[in-house]
Amino acid sequence: MRTNHEIDYKIYGEELQFVEIELDPNETAIAESGAFMMMDSGIEMQTIFGDGSQQQSGGFFGKLVSAGKRLITGESLFMTAFTNTGQGKKRVSFASPYTGKIIVLDLAKLGGKIIAQKDAFLCAAKGVSIGIEFQRRLGTGIFGGEGFIMQKIEGDGLAFAHAGGFIVEKQLQPGEVLKVDTGCVVAYTPNVDFDIEMVKGIKNFMFGGEGLFFAKLTGPGHVWLQSLPISRLAGRIMQYGTYNRKEEGGILGGLGNLLDGRE
C-alpha cells in the first residue's frame, strides 16, 4: 500500500524527452522549477517550499530547512505542485533540460531510497521527499565527481530523473565490481558501495586523458549510468568555442574564421 500519490505516466521522444503524468482528481505531482511543459485545464499550479512531503512537518521553519537542503544540492528553494482539482483524469507534462533520457524510479520496488547526482531529479508523485546525502568517504567526496553532497530521493511513489546521453541500468550481484568514469554515475541504491580507485600505470596517469580516478561500484544493488555527462558536453563546447577552426584545405581556414566571427 503506497503512502505517496499513485500516478500514471507516459514518456515521449528519444533524445529530448518529456514525461506526461496522468492525475486522477485530487492527485498531485511535484516538479523542479522550470521543468513544466504543458497541462490540461483543471490542474492547479502552486509554488511550494521544498518538496511538500510529509517529512516537512515542522511548520514554516521545517519547510525552510528542507528547502535550504535542496539549495545545497544545486536546486531551487521552491518546487511546483500540480494538482487535479477538476473532474476526471487530467494530464501535466514535464520536459528534460538537455539531451538525454528520463529515468523512471519506482521507489516502492527499489527499497524506498535512491542516491542520485545533484541535478538528476525532474518530477515525482506528491509525498516523495527530495533531500541531501553526504558522501561517507573523504576520497569519494573529493575525487568522486559529485563532491560531498548528492541528492536523496525517498518514498514509495514514482519519481523521474534525467541524465545525459543514453542510460544504462545495471543490477550488480553481491561482490560484483563495476569501474566507471566518475562523471557517468547517475544514481544507485544505498546498498551499493561507492568508492574511488586511482588509475594505475604512469602512462595512463599522465597521458590517458580519462582523469586520475575511477568510480568503483560494488554490489549488490541497482546502478544507473549515463553515456554523456553534462560537464563533458559543456567542456567540449567550451573547447570548440575557444580555438581557431582549421578547415579542410587549410587556405580557407582563416577566411572561415573571419566570416563566422572567430577572428
Specify the long-range contacts of residues 129-137, CB closer than 8 Å, at least 24 apart: 129/51, 129/53, 129/54, 129/55, 129/153, 129/154, 129/155, 130/50, 130/51, 130/53, 130/70, 130/75, 130/79, 131/55, 131/66, 131/69, 131/70, 132/69, 132/70, 132/72, 132/73, 135/194, 137/195, 137/196
pLDDT at position 29 is 95
Q: Is 257 exposed, middle or buried (0-12, 13-18, 19+ CB in 10 A)?
A: middle
pLDDT at position 71 is 57
* E strand map for the chain: 8-12, 18-23, 28-32, 36-39, 43-49, 78-84, 90-95, 100-106, 113-116, 121-125, 129-134, 149-154, 158-164, 167-172, 177-181, 185-188, 193-198, 213-218, 221-226
Find all residues with CB under 8 Å of 30, minimum gap 6, and list them: 48, 51, 52, 79, 80, 81, 82, 123, 124, 125, 126, 128
Q: What's the longest Cα–Cα distance across the chain?
A: 70
- pTM (2 decimals)? 0.77
Residue 115: name the closest of 127, 102, 105 by CA: 105
Contact present, 170 and 178 (Cβ < 8 Å):
yes
Contact present, 124 and 91 (Cβ < 8 Å):
no
Domains in the chain and their CATH numbers? 8-243 (3.60.160.10)
Three-class SS state of 78: strand
pLDDT at position 33 is 82
pLDDT at position 70 is 56
Q: Is the dihedral of CA 3, 4, 5, 7 positive or negative?
A: negative
Q: Which residues pair with 116 in a beta bridge?
A: 151, 187
Please, what are the averages of pLDDT over each run of 10 residues along the chain (263 residues)? 88 92 95 92 88 59 56 66 94 92 95 91 92 64 55 93 93 95 91 82 47 83 92 72 52 46 45
